[in-house]
Amino acid sequence: MAPTGPNLTRIVAQSCARTDFSTLEDEVVDRTRYLLLDFLGCAIRGTSSASTAPVHRLAERKCSADHQIPIIGTAIKSEPSFAALAVGTAAHSLELDDVVNSASLHPAVAVIPAAISTGYLCNSSGPELLTAIVVGYELMVKLGIALKPAAHYRRGFHPTGTCGAFGAAAASAKIMNLTAEEFIHALGIAGSQAAGSLEFLSDGSFTKRFHAGWAAHGGVLAAELAQEGFTGPSSIIEGKLGFLHGYSSESNPDDVLRGWADPWEVMKTSIKPHACCRYKQGPIDCLIAIMIGNELRPEDIARIDIAILDAGFGLVAEPIEKKRNPRSVVDAQFSMPFGAALAVLRNDASLDRYSLEEIESEDIRAFMEKVNCIRDPELDREFPVKWPARVAITTTDGKVFEHHLEYPKGDPQNPLSWDELIDKFNSLAGQVLPKSQCDKIVGLVRKVDQLNDISELVDALQAA
């Protein structure tokens, strides 16, 4: 699709509205099922996060007799937009949800809760759900690319929240079968709900998780309002006072349509094996490789130097005094020194390691003082086509061990297999649901494109 100018929002809406399941290649369908299962594991386990309970209490109070949407991983029901809010917030709480490197955002936690909530209400089929997810990912990611992630971060915005409102609106509008004009209005309405401040980094508060839920909520609400005749600006993406100009000083509207559906962005989405910010994950892989490959012991290490991509430096590496002194789980999820300490001392950076017990442990706190974060222009030149990492460990006897990685584990170029993904799903969902139920969910997701009504899947996601 060629770059365009003043009619960008209209072209995007028309493209999303026209996309049909029959045009999706088999590998796109399989990849979308794969991403759906990854999301569901995060959403189910995320119900046990401390930040999720308040949202569940609110959502339960918003339940109406006519519109009762199951909230994944619970026995609670709510109206569609609040069900999406609860599920998106829960799924994003673990820092294990999928990510697109080029846009530096997490599409599943905004797009899929919206698609499931509206799809359940509309008795949508599995193919309709998958198509809605595909177009929601596409728009959300393309907007993130067009904003230029580093510039968007410098404005203080979290792209999962800002771009997510549009992705969720697109998924909802698609699954609700809105007309092209209604689709445009849904995007326009979503643009006035695009939010997400990075100020959570100052004190480790829960709002980062809420950004995903709010985007999902806003997308559902936008589509519902558009269906009722409410209007939104038809130039919300490209307008002088619109999204791209307002949320970044370096945005390029042409990037929205450049490479649209060629290939679909679901094919370029990465899965997280570690429960933390993606900017930490390559370095963690490097550290584990050095420790195992050279049979090093933690007591052998005098210093660690970790090269961090410039786009993520402010998220995980500075101010270094704060990053070496996390006070909450959110702090730890965004602390490179903490992630490095886990990799070296525990050989593990999984979800259960991101706990107050580990944060307060004496050996972790002492080891974080050995971790230094540096910028590396050579790595930045490879980004975002690659998400490279480089780590150097200096031992107490003066030896230096280095490791360079082009693609972190979970990237499409270094993927988790279906079997590995199912293991990840079971490790998460199995903490909330019995094994028999987890097995049933996996089976339903593997054949979701054959379901006439997604309620069969959604009902299977509820806790007793």
The string of DSSP letters for 270-327 reads B--SSSS-HHHHHHHHHHHHHHHHTT--GGGEEEEEEEE-HHHHHHHTSSHHHHTS--
In this structure, are 221 and 236 located in the same domain? yes
Q: Which two tokens stand for residue 20?
A: 């049909």
Q: Are 173 and 82 contained in the same domain?
A: yes
261 plus 325 within the same structural domain: no
Which CATH number goes with the domain that contains 326?
A: 3.30.1330.120
Query: Which residues are within 8 A (CB) of 246 and not within 5 positions of it... i.e. 6 or more apart?
Result: none
Q: What is the distance between the alpha carbons of residues 151 and 130, in angstroms, rounded to a whole number?
A: 32
Q: Compute CA 64 distance to the chain's CA centroid, rounded to the nearest angstrom.
A: 29
Residue 203's pLDDT band (cuts 50, 70, 90): very high
For residue 460, what pLDDT is reported? 98
Question: Does residue 449 belong to any structural domain of this protein?
Answer: yes
- The pLDDT of 345-361, averaged and rounded, is 96
Confidence of residue 384 (pLDDT cuts 50, 70, 90): confident
Same domain, 267 and 292: no
What is the distance between the alpha carbons of residues 82 and 264, in angstroms, rounded to a whole number?
29
pLDDT attached to residue 325: 98
CB atoms within 10 A of CB 36: 23
pTM: 0.95
The answer to whether the beta carbons of residues 110 and 216 sit under 8 Å apart is: yes
Q: Of 89 and 3, which is predicted with more confidence?
A: 89
CB proximity list for 202: less than 8 A, separation 6 or greater: none
Residue 66's pLDDT is 74
Whichever domain contains 161, its CATH number is 1.10.4100.10
33: which 2 tokens?
Answer: 């099922």
Residues 295 and 264 in one domain: no
Strand partners, 401: 393
Residue 430 counted as domain residue: no
Domain containing residue 40: 8-272+439-460
What confidence score (pLDDT) does residue 4 get? Answer: 56
pLDDT for position 1: 53
Q: How many domains are contained in the chain?
A: 2
Does one domain contain both 189 and 223? yes
Same structural domain, 237 and 95 = yes
Q: Are residues 344 and 375 in the same domain?
A: yes
Domain assignment present for 1 = no
pLDDT at residue 30 is higher than 90: yes
Q: For residue 119, is it within any domain? A: yes
- Domain for residue 332, yes or no? yes
Let me know whether 37 and 121 are in one domain.
Answer: yes
Res. 125: pLDDT tops 60? yes
Confidence of residue 330 (pLDDT cuts 50, 70, 90): very high
Q: Would residue 150 count as lying in a domain?
A: yes
455 within some domain: yes
Spatial distance between the Cα atoms of 233 and 73, rounded to a whole number of angstroms: 37
Tell me, yes or no, whether 267 and 291 share the same domain: no
Contact predicate 442/422, CB 8 Å: yes
Are 65 and 207 in the same domain? yes
| 95 located within any domain | yes
> Do 265 and 288 belong to one domain?
no
Note the helical H segments in 228-268.
Answer: 243-247, 254-257
Rounded Cα distance, 421 and 35, in Å: 9
- Residue 116 pLDDT greater than 70, yes or no: yes
Question: Per the structure block, which two tokens stand in for 79?
Answer: 């109206």
Which pLDDT tens digit goes with each residue over 64-106?
767 799 999 999 999 999 999 999 999 999 999 999 999 999 9
